[in-house]
Structures are given as structure tokens and as C-alpha cells.
Amino acid sequence: MTNTAKYLKGLKAGIGMGIAYIPFGLTVGLIAKNNGMYTIVTAAMSFGIYAGGSEAMLLKMVYEQHSTAIEVIISVFMINLRYLLLNLLIFRQLKSGTKLFEKILVGAGLTDETITYAVIQEERSPWYIIGLNTVPYLCYASSSVLGSLFGNMIPETFRASLSFILYSIYFSLLVMSLQKLPKFFEVVLYVIAAKLAFMYLPVLNMVSSGWAMILIMIGSSLIYAIRHRKDEIKENE
């Protein structure tokens, strides 16, 4: 199969995720407009940064909390630090001989949802993943511009209900992955337990959400790896 065919196949697979990104993009665009950001700046932010939750945090910190540049940089960095771990899953999965510019294109468009889908499908073609990333990117960035222009015309209840689409599609991807690899359900339990600990236990509930996310991912993965290290060795023998 040619690179073009793989790209088009990935493009088709990303349509559902792209649709799910639209309400979130509209919301970010509306937040930007309500805080006085020009639409052209919103477009540059969404098409250039493409960071979703980080963009929403950036807007809140700059316009509501009046944070310093250093505080914004550190906070956004902490939120996105998880991609140092998540992207490893994709880059280890890519076929040997993948060129550097292909890896750059793959990495630039990855999100939690596209990473999960590509891992579930065990897709090794960089051009399939680039295609998978394309529609969500265009839908999110374009809808943020539309949200900046026309977001106030959308009823609040409708905007709130649309937000559940993104959570629904991510939950469906989680179910698909657990059906294929049920042994990883144990990791999900570790994550839930750790999340509850960081929410309610003294001292731990004082940890920032960015650090908590990193510690939960590393801790849960480490516990699973230690518990099943011998099993993995036996499977590879």
C-alpha cells in the first residue's frame, strides 16, 4: 500500500474523533472571545499550538489569574509533560526506517485520543497516523475560530451537552483497548486508586494537577511492570 493510500485510510479513521473535537474547539474559541482575544490571535493559537486543554489553561491564567509568563510556561509544560511518555508508545511502534521528518509530522499532531487509537490498532505506518491526526487537528482549530466568531449564538445548554462527546469517544477507546488486552484493566484500577488518593488524602491533595497526572502515570505503570516483570520475561522466551 502506498503512502498516499495509507494517509487516506488514516484520514477516514480520524473523522469520528474530529467531530468529537468540534464542541471543545467552540468552547475554547468562545472563552478566548469573552476574554477579549482577537479572532486572528485565536486562530494563530489553535492552528499553531494545537494544545486543547493547555490553551484553555493559558487563557484562564493570562486573563483571569493574571499569571506571569514563567508561571504560564511551567503550568503548560507540566500538563503536556505526559506526552514524553505517551509519544514513546507511538515512536517505538513505528516501522523501522521511518524518516525524521515523518516522525516530526506524526508527533506534531498526536493527542490522547489518536495515540490510544493508533496503539489499539497497532499501526506502524507513519502516514496512516499523520492522516489520523489531520481531521481532528483541522476540526479543532477551525471550530475554535468559529467559536470566537459565533460562539455566543450557541445556547449554553447545547454547548454543555456537546462537551460529553469527547469524553464518550475516549471512553469507547478505553473499552476497546481493555477488550483487546484485558490484563491492562489492572492498570486502570491503579490509576483510579491513585487519582482518588491525590484528590482526598492530606498532603497529596495539595499536589498540582500537572504533577499529579505525571506521578499517577509513572507510579501506575511502574507498579504494573514490577508485578508482572517475570510474566513478561516468560512470554518473550
Residue-level pLDDT at 211 = 76
Q: What string of DSSP letters covers 115-145? A: HHHHHHHT---HHHHHHHHHHHHHHHHHHHH
* Domains of the chain: total: 2
Quick: pLDDT tens for 5-46: 999 999 999 998 898 888 888 888 888 888 888 999 999 999
In this prediction, residues 76-83 reach a mean pLDDT of 72
Residues 192 and 176 in one domain: no
C-alpha cell at 129: 497516523
pLDDT band at 139 (very low <50, low <70, confident <90, very high): very high
Angle at 161 between CA 155 and CA 164, to 5 degrees: 145
Q: Highest-confidence range of 38-52, 68-82, 150-164, by mean pLDDT?
A: 38-52
Residues 165 and 196 in one domain: no
Residue-level pLDDT at 1 = 77
Range of the domain at 227: 181-236
Question: Which residues, 6 or more positions from 104, have their beta carbon under 8 angstroms from its beta carbon?
Answer: none
Angstrom distance (rounded) from CA 138 to CA 50: 10
Quick: pLDDT tens for 89-113: 788 889 888 899 999 999 889 888 8
Residues 216 and 101 in one domain: no
Q: What string of DSSP letters covers 69-127? A: HHHHHHHHHHHHTHHHHHHHHHHHHSPTT--HHHHHHHHHH--HHHHHHHHHHT---HH
DSSP tag of 205? G
Angstrom distance (rounded) from CA 4 to CA 9: 9
Quick: pLDDT tens for 109-136: 988 888 888 888 888 999 999 999 999 9
Angstrom distance (rounded) from CA 220 to CA 186: 9
Residues 174 and 63 in one domain: yes
Q: Can you state the percent helix, strand and coil of the chain, rounding each to 5?
A: 85, 0, 15
Residue 214 sits at φ, ψ, to 5 deg, of -65, -45
Q: Which domain-ending residue is among 165, 180, 195? A: 180
Residues 136 and 231 in one domain: no
Residues 155 and 208 in one domain: no
Residues 23 and 139 in one domain: yes
Quick: pLDDT tens for 154-188: 776 666 666 566 566 567 656 766 666 677 788 88
pLDDT band at 59 (very low <50, low <70, confident <90, very high): confident
DSSP tag of 43? H
In this prediction, residues 147-157 reach a mean pLDDT of 79
Residues 98 and 189 in one domain: no
Residues 37 and 133 in one domain: yes
**Distances 14 to 112, 113, 162 between C-alpha atoms, Å:** 13, 10, 18
Residues 170 and 199 in one domain: no
Residue-level pLDDT at 185 = 81
Residues 127 and 197 in one domain: no
